[in-house]
Amino acid sequence: MLACESLEAERPERMLFIGAQSHAALRGQAGLTGWQPLKPHADAWDKAGFSRNDKLPEGKWPWVMVLPQKSRDETLLWFSLARDRIAAGGKLLAAMPNTAGAGRFEKELVRATGRVDSIQKNKCRAFVATDDGSWNEAIFAEWRELGRERKIDGTEYVTQPGIFSSSHVDPGSKLLVRHLPKSLRGRVADLGAGWGYLSSSALDACDGITHIDLYEADARALDCARKNLTRHSGKASFHWHDVTKGLTEKYDAILMNPPFHSGQATDVDLGRAFIGSAIAALRRGGKLLLVANRQLPYEAVLESQSLAWRKIAEDSTYKVVLADKR
Ligand SMILES: C[S@@+](CC[C@H](N)C(=O)[O-])C[C@H]1O[C@@H](n2cnc3c(N)ncnc32)[C@H](O)[C@@H]1O
C-alpha cells in the first residue's frame, strides 16, 4: 500500500486493483474494484468487504494499481493490462518487494512511460507513472503479447505466464508420473492441480479412474487445465479452491505435488496442510501419492496420522511417496 499512501491526498473516486490484496489502508475507499486470480488472496479480499471481479474487468479508471508476484512475464503483462485500463491522464501504481525484482521492473516501466515517481520502504519499492500522452505504446504492445496462450515444447499442453511451471513440465511431477501405479482406481483428487499435468497423465495411464476432481488456487492455471483435459472432459471437474480449507468429497486416491512457497517465502506448512486435507478426504483403504523435494519432512505428517507409507521412487532432487489410509 506504499504507492497509495504516498499519494494519499490525490486518491480518485474509482480505482482498479490488479492482483488485489486486502490492506487496512484501502478500507473505506469508494469505487475500488479488485481482480485476483489466487483463491486465498481473493477470499481475504472478499472477507474484508471489497468488491471483486472473477474476470479482469474492461473499462477505464483514473488509477490502476498493480501488485504482481514474481514472474517476469506476468509482471510485464500486468503492466500492459493496467495500461489498457487507465483513463487519459490517469496513473499506473505498482508495488513489489525488492526480492521480487522491484528495481528491475521499475526500470522496465520507465522504459515504457518515460519516468516514474518512486519510493522505497520496508524492503519494497512503489512506483507511479502518470499518463501524459507520451508513453511508448510499442513496448506495452510487446508486453501484451506475453499474455498469449503458450504451449509446453513438444506437447499440446497450454499454459499462461505467472502460473506454476508455465514453460515446462515440472521434473518432480514427471518423476511421479513415471512411477504412477496403473492400479489407481475410483474417484481421484489432484490437489494443487496446476495446468493439469498429473490429472491428464493419470487419466491416460489408469483405466480404473472413474473421475478426477482438480483443485487449484490459481484461476489462470485452472483455465489452462480445463483446456488440457478436454479429451477427458466427462471424467474431470475443476474447482477454484484453497486446499488448506479442506475438501468436502471423499476419495479413493489423491495425487499431489504440494506447493511449498507462499508468495516469495518457503512455507513447508503449506505442504503439510495439503497432506492434512488429503488424509481427511481419503476413504479407508485410500491411497495418497505425492512427490516432493527430498529434504521436505512430509513423512512425519503421514506417520502422525497413522498412514503406512513407502518411498516408491527418488532421484537426486525428488522423492515419490505412496501412503495408505488403513
Ligand atoms: C508444485 S505446484 C504443482 C502443480 C501441478 N500439480 C503440476 O504437477 O504441475 C503446486 C500447485 O499448488 C497450487 N496452490 C498453491 N497454494 C494452493 C492452495 N492453498 N490451494 C490450492 N492450490 C494451491 C499452486 O498454484 C500450484 O499450481
Residue 235 CA, ligand 1 centroid: distance in Å? 20
User: pLDDT tens for residues 137-180?
Assistant: 999 999 999 999 999 999 999 999 999 999 999 999 999 999 99
Mean pLDDT of 261-280: 87
Lining residues, ligand 1, CB within 6 Å:
40, 164-165, 170, 173, 192-194, 197-198, 215-218, 221, 242-244, 257, 259
Query: The C-alpha cell of 150 is what?
Result: 503458450
pLDDT at 7: 61
Residue 106 CA, ligand 1 centroid: distance in Å? 29
Q: How far is residue 298's CA from residue 272's CA, in Å, rounded to a whole number?
A: 7
Q: Which atom of ligand 1 is nearest to the CA of 259?
A: 10
Closest CA to ligand 1's atom 27: 194
Q: How far is residue 104's CA from residue 18's CA, in Å, rounded to a whole number?
A: 19
User: Do residue 113 and residue 156 come from a single domain?
Assistant: no
User: Do residue 182 and residue 305 come from a single domain?
Assistant: yes
Residue 165 CA, ligand 1 centroid: distance in Å? 10
User: Do residue 187 and residue 254 come from a single domain?
Assistant: yes
Question: How far from 274 is each of 77, 256, 312, 322, CA to CA, in Å?
Answer: 30, 9, 20, 15
pLDDT at 69: 85
User: Do residue 41 and residue 160 come from a single domain?
Assistant: no
User: Do residue 75 and residue 136 come from a single domain?
Assistant: yes
Listed in sequence order, the residues at least 6 apart from 86 whose beta carbon sits closer than 8 Å to its beta carbon are: 60, 61, 62, 63, 64, 92, 131
pLDDT at 267: 80
User: Do residue 119 and residue 172 come from a single domain?
Assistant: no
- Measure the CA angle with vertex 262, ends 260 and 263; round to 5°: 130
User: Do residue 213 and residue 261 come from a single domain?
Assistant: yes
Beta bridge partners of residue 290, listed in sequence order: 256, 321
User: Do residue 213 and residue 200 come from a single domain?
Assistant: yes
User: Do residue 194 and residue 318 come from a single domain?
Assistant: yes
Q: Any idea what the CATH number is for the domain that residue 15 is in? A: 3.40.50.150
Query: The C-alpha cell of 61 is what?
Result: 479508471
Our mutation pick for probing the ligand 1 site, out of 36, 164, 270, counting the most ligand atoms within 8 A of Cβ, is: 164
User: Do residue 162 and residue 293 come from a single domain?
Assistant: yes
DSSP states of 291-304: EEETT--THHHHHH
Number of domains in the chain: 2
User: pLDDT tens for residues 4-21?
Assistant: 565 666 789 899 999 999
Say if CB 199 and CB 214 are below 8 A apart.
Answer: yes
Place of cell 505435488: 257
Domain hosting 52: range is 2-145
Last residue of a domain, one of 125, 145, 165: 145
User: Do residue 123 and residue 59 come from a single domain?
Assistant: yes
85 pLDDT exceeds 70? yes
Closest CA to ligand 1's atom 12: 192
3-state secondary structure of 160: coil
- pTM tops 0.75: yes
User: Do residue 161 and residue 124 come from a single domain?
Assistant: no
DSSP states of 270-286: HHHHHHHHHHHHEEEEE
Closest CA to ligand 1's atom 17: 217
Residue 184 CA, ligand 1 centroid: distance in Å? 21
